[in-house]
Structure 1
Amino acid sequence: MKIFSIITLVSTLLLSACVSAPVAPAKWALEPVSLYHSGYEKGTEIVSVQQSTLRAVLSNFGTGEVDVLDLSKPEKLRRIARFSLGLGQGEELTSVAFHPSLDLFAAVVDVGIKRGRLEIRSTSTGELVDKVEAGFGSDAVVISSDGRLIMVANEGEDFWFDQQKKQFLKARGSVSVIHLDQNGQIEANNNLKLADVTAREGFVIEAQGHYLEVEVDWNGDGKISKQMDFDGNGLIEDKKVNLGSFEETEVFGNETKGERKILIPITTRSSILLEPEYIAISPDASWAFVTLQENNEVAVINLVNEKVMGYYNMGITEHKADLKNDGWVRFEQSITALREPDGIALTSDGRFFVTADEGDTETPVNADGQTLSGGRTISVFNTKTGKFVGDTGNQLDEVAFAHHLYLDSQSGRKGAEPEMLVSFDIEGTSWVAVGMERGGAVMLISLADPEHPKVEALGKIPGEDIKSPEGIAHFMLGEDHYLLTANEMNGTVAAFKIVRTAPDARP
């Protein structure tokens, strides 16, 4: 028995070996300096910084609370206050943003299949200052650098089922543009509808199928069942069952996955499937760029006349990757994938926007010729033309593996999964930092050569439990640069210091 165990262990270690180029000595490092514990096991999702006062606001989607943190001593993050938003049943706090100059923060509340709302609250007392109705599925919120404009991405991702008509229905996504006066009071609000992009030249629809995995209360009992006897034969079987239609396209479910993972096909020509994910506002607040993750698009919005001017297609990425969960990690296969970006950020000069290509649709990994979901990359695009400039190829996965943070089980499931990112300058050179949801880490990427963005460092979030970094923020203390990650699956915020490890690391 002992001999068998030793042989099994050795075999497992050998199977986990990776054929990869040796890792060059690091010139930069992300040094973990502290870990703030919210006191909850999960829920710490979005963090936003006010540089002038060295404070941050942190959302908890599970409790509907906002923590205010003191960043003046990064080696010991301290909570100054905690405010409950007093949410009602079925409401969820989805995002927060600190006003750049006033003692205010914006909080977004999702209300399911009803319209959500934006709340403006005092950072000192938590009291409600103003509020306004937003769109369906209100999610990410950003504030312009001058503090006069707030934008909300209303994802509209909730589906429901009409049992009589056997049809799946969905709320419509939109973008809210909200103007503030000099005191932070709401002056005006405009919900921008998104036009159909699927019929225009360059839009990619995969004949072999990309699907949204969505939760739907199919049988109307008020809960989401993990397994479901869809065909009513008294058995739970591992098979596809036709459940109805969405936009005249068949919808299927698997009985072993139940109502948790009903597959909505992205083959429809409807604008209803456009789901704004995240927003980047230009430095002069004249333009905004909005990721439409499921559709592999970025919407371009003119904020002067508040109109959607067009859409950039994010295209595909091709590079080496490990695509099979087979006991080996070998980055020797070729991947062709829709980028499907989640996070987006603009460089400080406004020349480029940078995307975190997480992927969100589901595809059969082993299908011959299948274009997969999620680029597993950080990509750079020209803001004026939408032209692709460069991406990281397979660097994210390879660096995660080199730091023992890449499991073979991730190979068929979007790799280390880049989530949200933030852009900033170090001595005149643009950088981005990205949270790796499945890697439990943050990566530092140089844009010194935008055509060849380079991963320069990885910082592992302390602890051995599942972290899932979601929100990310940057701040400075004197000349030193720091990063914060909000780690939703273990209820923490990690602080990292960006440090040089070699004299020639100067950008």
Structure 2
Amino acid sequence: MRLPVALPLCATLALLGGCTTTNTDSTSATSAIELRFLGRYESGVFDGSAAEIVAYDATTHETFVVNANSGKVDVLSMKNPMSPTKIKTLDVSQDVAKLMGITLGAANSVSVHNGMMAVAIEAKPKQDMGYVAFYKIEDHTFITAVKVGALPDMVTFSHDGKHVVVANEGEPNDAYTIDPEGSVSIISISSDLSTLSQKDVTEVSFRDFNNGGSRAAERPAGLRIFGPNATVAQDLEPEYITVSKDNRYAFVSLQENNGIAKIDLAKKSIETIWALGAKDYNQPGNELDISDKDKTIQLQNWPVLGLYMPDSIASYMVSGKTYIVTANEGDSRDYKGFSEELRVKDLAESNSHLTLTSPLNHSIEGQLEDDNNLGRMKITSTLGADHCELVKGTPTNCTFTTLYGYGARSFSIWSGENGKQVFDSGSDFERITAEQLGENGFNASNDSNKADGRSDDKGPEPEALTLGQIDGRTYAFIGLERVGGIMVYDITTPEKAQFIQYLTSRDFAADVKTSAAGDLGPEGMSFVSKEDSPTGQALLIVGNEVSGTTSVYGISPR
């Protein structure tokens, strides 16, 4: 079916606060807010990871922006949110290098709490142990650094400031000959950071879950362990962390493994690991556009599954129960030494074929490998196939009975008690962006204005995520990494989350390498309550990786 284009391209509205659409059906929220673009800081660096993760300090009204590849953190004044201004750059990689006498790589994440700032920095090479650097926010002075696991990809303070928790992703090298273990570092924090030392760091390992390990039997069915010659500890790749409101648990997304680890912060140990399962795109409400070559918007059901594979995650508490919110981006392993990626149309080249067990629509029977149908879909070679032979790292002679893609093109809410899903936004993101942007911008990538360019892969690719409370209600803000823009949902009642607004500042008529294009590639977000805001208005601050911009949105009752 062809989805009618209900609204015109709204790029011309970018200077007036961007494009916006709100839900008008019977599920609309009775209490709503409105997001409106206020201003941005432009680094002038296109597609160089010059603005990724952001963290806001309420005392100084400063935002700390990870300028990733440079190994630096930019300090922006937010005293006037309509005109953020850079006041300083902290060379965190150099500060740690001087202290430790080593060379370091990219800065990956930043977090602030009560006058302290922590920055995660990877080693060079990134398979070596990384570091977390600490700064005093008041005068931006470097205090000290401690060693953590390989490739510290995300760092966060607990709400009480007693711990800093670090997700050490432990990615392999490109040849897949060196694959460090993924882990979670817990740093115990005292009031005097100058006394911090390596003895305050506990590395939480997954080794007990290895084959033959004391907890191997606890590994959930469906947890993806598939790297060549990798142990479980090597294969698990912690991506992002959220700490429960009561500071009891840290929940860690294991993106490539399609799971979440629950860490007991008091015991400094893993309580459990959950496998997240897959989304059935053949069910009503889960429609998707699956081809980038059909030259139109086609949202329909397909006999395929999507692995949730969350990137950013957040948590909140309702009636004493913790819920986890995930941005279901998806991510494959695609290295020179090993790649799991396949396209459906290319299966015949490896003498493989499809025998799908899901019911097929008669109109696509016999046409699955066509570029206008499933042929362009990227799938994993590690699931859904029987009788495979591995030849030079490539699966051959396979019979695929089920097709698994990457990501779920949605956000989800899960129980923090048992990991069960209580809500998923289904096909909302593609349906809403199709209505809002029309055929000129639908499923475009973040570095190209070519429409429909990401339909075969992960669609709008939700990645950035943060939560905020306004007037007693809880809202989720989800950034779409590829097509751009922010989705806003009222998640006060987890099982009945309601769409509120979609807003984008992107101009699809402008050259993506110019500032006229707006914000591209939202990577990290920070919510600022009205109590902590310099203007008394709640704010959303967004780091945009591709455009290198840090944008600010005002949040007001509608």
For 1:320, the aligned partner's letter is E
Alignment of 1:344-359 (within 5 A): 344-349=313-318, 351-359=322-330
- 1:107 equivalenced with 2:119 (yes/no): yes
Question: Distance between the aligned counterparts of 2:545 and 2:412, measured in 1?
Answer: 25
How far 1:52 sits from its partner (Å)? Answer: 3.8
Report 1 or 2 for greater relative contact order, CA contacts < 8 Å, sequence distance ≥ 6: 2
- For structure 1, list consecutive stretches of 5 or more residues without a partner in the other structure: 1-14, 162-166, 213-245, 248-267, 502-507
Change (3 A) 1:80 1:124: farther
- RMSD of the TM alignment (CA)? 2.6
Change (3 A) 1:24 1:285: closer
For 2:425, the aligned partner's letter is T
How far 1:71 sits from its partner (Å)? Answer: 2.0
Question: Distance between the aligned counterparts of 1:373 and 1:39, measured in 2?
Answer: 32
TM-score normalized with structure 1 length: 0.77
Percent of residue pairs identical = 26
- For structure 2, list consecutive stretches of 5 or more residues without a partner in the other structure: 8-21, 98-102, 211-215, 281-285, 333-339, 345-353, 357-401, 444-451, 507-515
Residue matched to 2:307? 338
Question: Distance between the aligned counterparts of 2:70 and 2:233, measured in 1?
Answer: 33
Q: Residue by residue, what CA displacement relative to the aligned partner does 1:281-318 show, whole Å, maximum 9, x if unpaired? A: 11222111000001111001001110101112212223
Question: Distance between the aligned counterparts of 1:327 and 1:409, measured in 2?
Answer: 10
Q: Residue by residue, what CA displacement relative to the aligned partner does 1:19-58 show, whole Å, maximum 9, x if unpaired? A: 4889745964321110111243332111011234422211
How far 1:122 sits from its partner (Å)? Answer: 2.5
For 1:119, the aligned partner's letter is A
Residue matched to 1:127? 141
Residue matched to 1:390? 423
Instruction: Give the secondary structure class of the aligned counterpart of 2:262.
Output: strand
Q: Residue by residue, what CA displacement relative to the aligned partner does 1:357-416 show, whole Å, maximum 9, x if unpaired? A: 111125546464212221111110111121210110011122222221423221111110
- 1:297 equivalenced with 2:259 (yes/no): yes
Question: Distance between the aligned counterparts of 1:86 and 1:288, measured in 2?
Answer: 27
Residue matched to 2:442? 406
Instruction: Give the secondary structure class of the aligned counterpart of 1:310.
Output: strand
How far 1:141 sits from its partner (Å)? Answer: 0.5
Question: Distance between the aligned counterparts of 2:34 and 2:133, measured in 1?
Answer: 38
Contact 1:199–1:269 under 8 Å retained in 2: no
Instruction: Give the secondary structure class of the aligned counterpart of 1:322.
Output: coil
Question: Distance between the aligned counterparts of 1:298 and 1:273, measured in 2?
Answer: 14
Contact 2:223–2:274 under 8 Å retained in 1: no
- 1:37 equivalenced with 2:42 (yes/no): yes
Question: Distance between the aligned counterparts of 1:337 and 1:395, measured in 2?
Answer: 15
Aligned length: 423
Question: Distance between the aligned counterparts of 2:266 and 2:406, measured in 1?
Answer: 34
How far 1:205 sits from its partner (Å)? Answer: 6.8
Question: Distance between the aligned counterparts of 1:201 and 1:270, measured in 2?
Answer: 9
Residue matched to 1:328? 296
How far 1:199 sits from its partner (Å)? Answer: 6.5
TM-score normalized with structure 2 length: 0.71
Contact 1:203–1:313 under 8 Å retained in 2: yes
Question: Distance between the aligned counterparts of 1:301 and 1:344, measured in 2?
Answer: 14
Instruction: Give the secondary structure class of the aligned counterpart of 1:483.
Output: strand
Alignment of 1:437-448 (within 5 A): 437-448=481-492
Change (3 A) 1:200 1:397: farther
Contact 1:364–1:370 under 8 Å retained in 2: no
Question: Distance between the aligned counterparts of 1:315 and 1:101, measured in 2?
Answer: 38
Residue matched to 1:261? none
Change (3 A) 1:317 1:105: same
- Greater than 6 Å deviation, 4+ residue runs: 20-23
Instruction: Give the secondary structure class of the aligned counterpart of 1:120.
Output: strand
For 1:495, the aligned partner's letter is V
Residue matched to 1:483? 540
Change (3 A) 1:388 1:21: farther
Question: Distance between the aligned counterparts of 1:269 and 1:134, measured in 2?
Answer: 20
Alignment of 1:342-381 (within 5 A): 342-349=311-318, 351-361=322-332, 363-364=341-342, 366=344, 368=356, 369-381=402-414
Q: Residue by residue, what CA displacement relative to the aligned partner does 1:256-278 show, whole Å, maximum 9, x if unpaired? A: xxxxxxxxxxxx66331100000
Residue matched to 1:59? 66
Question: Distance between the aligned counterparts of 1:363 and 1:283, measured in 2?
Answer: 38
Q: Residue by residue, what CA displacement relative to the aligned partner does 1:450-488 show, whole Å, maximum 9, x if unpaired? A: 223233112213542671111111002355321111011
Change (3 A) 1:419 1:40: same
For 1:80, the aligned partner's letter is I
Change (3 A) 1:169 1:67: closer
Question: Distance between the aligned counterparts of 2:205 and 2:188, measured in 1?
Answer: 17
Residue matched to 2:75? 68
Alignment of 1:107-506 (within 5 A): 107-111=119-123, 112-159=126-173, 161=175, 168-185=177-194, 186=196, 188-195=200-207, 196=209, 202-204=220-222, 246-247=228-229, 270-318=232-280, 319-325=286-292, 326-334=294-302, 335-349=304-318, 351-361=322-332, 363-364=341-342, 366=344, 368=356, 369-404=402-437, 405-407=441-443, 408-462=452-506, 463-464=516-517, 467-478=520-531, 480-501=537-558
Instruction: Give the secondary structure class of the aligned counterpart of 1:172.
Output: coil
Question: Distance between the aligned counterparts of 2:544 and 2:172, measured in 1?
Answer: 24
Change (3 A) 1:86 1:274: closer
Change (3 A) 1:211 1:481: farther
Instruction: Give the secondary structure class of the aligned counterpart of 1:484.
Output: strand
Residue matched to 2:398? none
Contact 2:168–2:237 under 8 Å retained in 1: yes
Contact 1:357–1:379 under 8 Å retained in 2: yes
Change (3 A) 1:158 1:466: farther
Question: Distance between the aligned counterparts of 1:336 and 1:485, measured in 2?
Answer: 31
Contact 1:461–1:494 under 8 Å retained in 2: no
For 1:384, the aligned partner's letter is E
Question: Distance between the aligned counterparts of 2:231 and 2:151, measured in 1?
Answer: 21
Question: Distance between the aligned counterparts of 2:249 and 2:428, measured in 1?
Answer: 31
Question: Distance between the aligned counterparts of 2:83 and 2:260, measured in 1?
Answer: 38
Q: Residue by residue, what CA displacement relative to the aligned partner does 1:224-246 show, whole Å, maximum 9, x if unpaired? A: xxxxxxxxxxxxxxxxxxxxxx2
Contact 1:66–1:83 under 8 Å retained in 2: yes
Change (3 A) 1:434 1:211: farther
Question: Distance between the aligned counterparts of 1:397 and 1:277, measured in 2?
Answer: 25
